[in-house]
Structure formats: C-alpha cells, structure tokens
C-alpha cells in the first residue's frame, strides 16, 4: 500500500531541477549505461534522477536493476529514498526492511527508517530507529553512552553545534528512560527535521 496523500509536500516527481552540472552528470551516466546495460551504474543514474526530481524514472530504473541484482543494497537504498520522496512511505519501509535483513547495522537505513516513522507521526518508533550501530559511533557518541550526558541541555547544545546525530542520541536516551518527557520528544522531532534538511 502506498502512502501518498498526507505527505504530498515531499513529492517532487513532477518537478525538474534546473542544474547544468546535474544535467551533465545525468547525460554521462545515461551514455555509460547505454554502452553497458548490465552495469551497476544504474544505481548512480537513479540517484541522479532522484536529485533532479525525476523520481518516476529513478524508481523504474532501480526496480529494473534490482530484478537483475536483488542484493545490491545501494540501489535498494536509493529506491527507498526515492519512494520516500514520492510520499510512498510504506513502500519505502518495505525496501528498508529488505536491506536490514541483509545488514541489520546499516546506519543510513536506520536513519531513513527514523525519518519515515517521524513523517508518519510515529515518534516512538522514530526514537528506536535513531540509535547508531555499535562500533560505528563517534567519540562524542561514545561519551553520550554515559547517562550523565543524556540531558535536554546537552542534546540542545549538540544540536546548536551541528552535531545532529549526537543530539538525536541524547534525546533518544532520555525518551527511553522517560517516554513521557514532552520536551525531549519536541527536541527530538526538531533534530530529525534538521537531519532531514541536511540530507536533502
């Protein structure tokens, strides 16, 4: 089931981006794929289509490529991002689930899953999807593992300094201990918005 109506602001499928550099990159990748139709370059071209707002073409290209290379998780992630851009959040979640079956520690998938849950209004589920995979945490994230730093003030400071992932981790830890903490929930939502804007 596709979820499209209530998430229309994210739908860029009818919009084209006027960017000469992007257009040139698309032409190069189209030529490359024309020379070697079996190439994995379809994923790069699909991502360029997505960035240009040509989401229907991106989805078709990913689906065709994944029919040949079903375990190519980069292409599946691009498909998930494109479906999310179209507002097809349920379909995007299905693609994320397929990736996580192969690699449960895929950080980009967990981030996208959290963003989709936030857009669906499921902040509680978004919270559980934001924790970075063990072993991939930055020094600051390792510090945040200490509950001493799981405070609204510290999370806000991280956010103000542009440390969006660390801010999300701080607010997540607060909400895990105190699910009714409205201030932490508000700040987490602000953080997830900020992260979505940065990802583009």
Domains (range + CATH), the chain: 1-104 (1.25.40.10), 126-200 (no CATH)
In this predicted structure, which of 48-52, 112-116, 125-129 has the lowest mean pLDDT? 125-129
Binning pLDDT at 50, 70 and 90, where does residue 199 land? low
Mean pLDDT to the nearest integer, 11-37: 78
Rounded average pLDDT over 154-178: 81
- What are the structure tokens assigned to 144, written together? 């945040």
Q: What is the reported pLDDT for 15?
A: 42
- Backbone phi and psi for residue 105, each to the nearest 5 degrees, phi listed first: -105, 15
The pLDDT value given to residue 133: 46
Q: Which residue is listed with tokens 């698309």?
A: 26
Per-residue model confidence (pLDDT) at position 182: 85
Task: Measure the CA–CA gap between 86 and 12, rounded to whole angstroms.
Answer: 6
Which of 66-70, 131-135, 145-149, 164-168 has the lowest average pLDDT? 131-135
CA distances from 49 to 53, 98, 146, 166 (A): 6, 22, 42, 31
Q: With 0.75 as the threshold, say if the pTM is over it.
A: no
Count the helices and strands in the chain (H runs, E runs). 11, 0
Query: DSSP letter at 133?
Result: P
> In angstroms, what CA-CA distances link 85 with 7, 25, 193?
9, 21, 15
């Amino acid at each position: 089931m596709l979820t499209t109506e209530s998430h229309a602001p994210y739908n860029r499928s009818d919009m084209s981006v006027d960017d000469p550099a992007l257009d040139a990159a698309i032409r190069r990748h189209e030529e490359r794929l024309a020379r070697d139709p079996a190439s994995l370059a379809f994923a790069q071209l699909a991502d360029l289509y997505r960035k240009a707002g040509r989401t229907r073409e991106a989805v078709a290209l990913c689906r065709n490529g994944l029919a040949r290379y079903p375990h190519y998780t980069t292409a599946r992630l691009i498909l998930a991002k494109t479906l999310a851009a179209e507002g097809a959040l349920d379909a995007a979640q299905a693609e994320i689930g397929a990736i996580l079956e192969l690699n449960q520690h895929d950080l980009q998938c967990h981030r996208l899953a959290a963003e989709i849950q936030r857009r669906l209004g499921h902040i509680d589920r978004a919270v559980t999807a934001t924790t970075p995979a063990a072993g991939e945490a930055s020094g600051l994230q390792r510090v945040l593992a200490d509950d001493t730093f799981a405070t609204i003030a510290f999370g806000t400071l991280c956010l103000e300094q542009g440390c969006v992932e660390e801010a999300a981790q701080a607010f997540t830890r607060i909400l895990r201990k105190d699910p009714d903490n409205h201030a932490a929930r508000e700040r987490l939502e602000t953080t997830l918005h900020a992260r979505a804007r940065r990802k583009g």
